[in-house]
Amino acid sequence: NAGVMQNPRHLVRRRGQEARLRCSPMKGHSHVYWYRQLPEEGLKFMVYLQKENIIDESGMPKERFSAEFPKEGPSILRIQQVVRGDSAAYFCASSGSVDTGELFFGEGSRLTVL
């Protein structure tokens, strides 16, 4: 029973390049969340998606960031024209229901922008 799978675990990009982070939720989960953790800080909410729908993207920067969760395949967080300030750990989480219960986190993708 695989947990939340994220890849790549580590990604290095130069300024101006694109970063794509993938997340496969736990089996049976249809709710996906992306969080960002800057160094020495807690996680900050970015976006909440269900299959083919963005439900809440209030935590996403207005430019360069986008997310999708297609009908088939993993959820993708895409960062265009990366800048040094995008260097962070990006965590994906999933849940099977909409309530106050636990989110199951992946191991995170660590983006380093040179």
**Cα separation of 91 and 22, whole Å?**
10
Question: Using CB under 8 A, which of the segments 20-28, 66-74, 80-88, 90-98 binds another protein?
Answer: 90-98
Binding flag, residue 90, another protein (CB under 8 A): no
Question: Which x/- pattern over 50-89 shows residues binding another protein (rule: CB under 8 A)?
Answer: -----xx--x-----------------------------x
**Cα separation of 88 and 74, whole Å?**
21
CB 34 within 8 A of CB 91: yes
How many helices (H) does the chain have, and how many strands (E)? 0, 11
Q: Could you tell me the smallest distance in angstroms from the CB atom of residue 107 to another protein?
A: 4
Nearer to another protein, 12 or 98 (CB): 98
